[in-house]
Amino acid sequence: MPKEEDTRSKLSPRDRQVLKEISDGFTDPGKIAEKLKIKEVSVISSAEGLAEMGLISLDKGVEEVCALTEEGARYAEIGLPERRILEIAGVEGVPLSEIKDPALKVGIGWLKKKGWATVEAGRITPKGDALPGKDEEILEALLFQGETSGSALDEEALKLLKSRGLVESRSEKSWSFEITDAGRSALKMAEDSSRSSSAVFDYVAQITPDMIKNGVWEGKYVDYKGTRYEVRPYDVTLPAERIYPGKVHPYQRLLTRMREIMLEMGFTEIKGEIVQSSFWNFDALFQPQDHPAREMQDTFYLDSRAEIPDYASVKEMHERGGDVGSTGWGGNWDPEVARRKVLRTHTTSVTIKYLADHPNPPVKAFSIDRVYRREAIDPTHTPEFEQLEGVIMDDGLSFANLLGVLKGFYAKMGFDEVRFRPGYFPYTEPSVEPEVYIEGLGWVELGGAGVFRREVTAPFGIERPVLAWGLGVGRLAMLRLGLKDLRLLYQSDLGWLRDMPLSTRM
């Protein structure tokens, strides 16, 4: 424990003023600030320092402060709807048909809940005396007093008024101070020293560079420009108050970083509609109309139809395989099925439409956007999520070019070890699944890629090879941010957001 002399030397004039007010019985920082004509935050800062030195005890709390809403203030003046209905009903009661004002009708249910009246055969009949309830007392008190501590009001009645939108509340920090024996001793020493000291000096809490260079030092005092100053000791081991700066959400920073990488690699960003026709979402990608992916458990269908382009070549490809050496799917391709609107299940629906509108090389495009599927919500699945997709179309492209682009992208994302496993996707051939190595997890699959089949590109006049790949952004985000629950990406968990370092390279 520091000596009393050391403790006293750490007290600034403001600390001494605050300590004196607390000694005189002032326990509220607002009243101390008002008396000393300083800011309340300055009083709290001094009080925290005094508490650190054991000179005062400090009690922090959070208090609920309640006030009337606009509607609550009106009811406080004219009465609650149920009370006004009783006044209209009198002793004999009143037919329901006479309660025509919508603002009054809401009180009928409350009359029954409170047991003030019965409502039978279309008539409201009072049930004896209806004494003022706790809720009415609260309304009257808040109208008269204004903002009031929630602890001073009946808990159940207050909860009821909040549910009716008549009272609103906010949380407010509360502080209470009390001087300790050590504080009284330090204050007495400071006052005795002030009375006995013949030296006249000012107090300085911040030393300037010029003071260090040109001042004349004597222990804790410095003579500077004709004035003697006492310098307050500064303890560098004390923890600083934690600051929570404003910052971009970690998931948004990850999406931005991915967008930057794609733009650096020469891609053009494209966008598309969330609501797509089944034609662009499925048929244009050579998915058969009886494919399981189209079933209701995977897709959100809308109760409407979309216009679709000339579908003759797509129909021919599905039924007979066109002229690319394919056998197609056989059967009859139905344009009405293709017209059904869906919430897009992948961003490939945007990509293929863009390629259809730009059939000539070169094309190098990407999109980062949200897609929708009927998934049960759990730590690794949500019904809506982001997907990153890229395509390249040009002369002379090969499967090896695709693997090179993917390695380049993942390297820029910070993954040094990348490998590829053969995979299957309905609209690419050959297809691969890229995997990256994560310390502690091993190899993790992060997407799918391949070369668009000729059954996909030929109906739209696309003659060059198209390299395509897609990435589920959520899984990558979980790996980069160290999450075990995907839902955290979409929740405003302030604790997690504050703890996530701003300097983390996405």
Q: Which residues participate in the annotated binding site for L-phenylalanine?
A: 348, 387-389, 427, 452
Biggest alpha carbon–alpha carbon distance for the chain: 109
CB 40 within 8 A of CB 29: yes
Q: Which residues are annotated as a binding site?
A: 348, 387-389, 427, 429, 452
The string of DSSP letters for 273-319 reads: -SEEEHHHHTGGGT--TT-GGGSTTT--EEEEE------HHHHHHHH
Cα atoms found within 13 Å of the Cα of residue 425, Cβ hemisphere only:
24
Residue whose pair of structure tokens reads 């049960």 in the numeric block = 376
The string of DSSP letters for 187-237 reads: HHHHHHHHHH-----EEESS--HHHHHH-EEETTEEEETTEEEEEPP--TT
Using CB atoms within 10 Å of the CB of residue 23, give its burial: 0 to 12 exposed, 13 to 18 middle, 19+ buried. middle
Q: Which residues are annotated as a binding site for Mg(2+)?
A: 429
Amino acid at 218: E
CB 456 within 8 A of CB 284: yes
d(CA 345, CA 325): 29
CB 391 within 8 A of CB 355: yes
CB 417 within 8 A of CB 437: yes
Burial 27-36 (b: 16+ CB within 10 A, else e): eebeebbeeb
The long-range contacts involving 8-12, CB below 8 angstroms and separated by at least 24 positions, are 8/186, 8/189, 8/190, 8/193, 9/220, 9/232, 9/233, 10/49, 10/53, 10/232, 10/233, 11/186, 11/190, 12/46, 12/203, 12/205, 12/232
Contacts of 122 (CB under 8 A, 6+ apart): 95, 96, 97
The CA dihedral of 36, 42, 47, 53, to the nearest 10 degrees, is -120
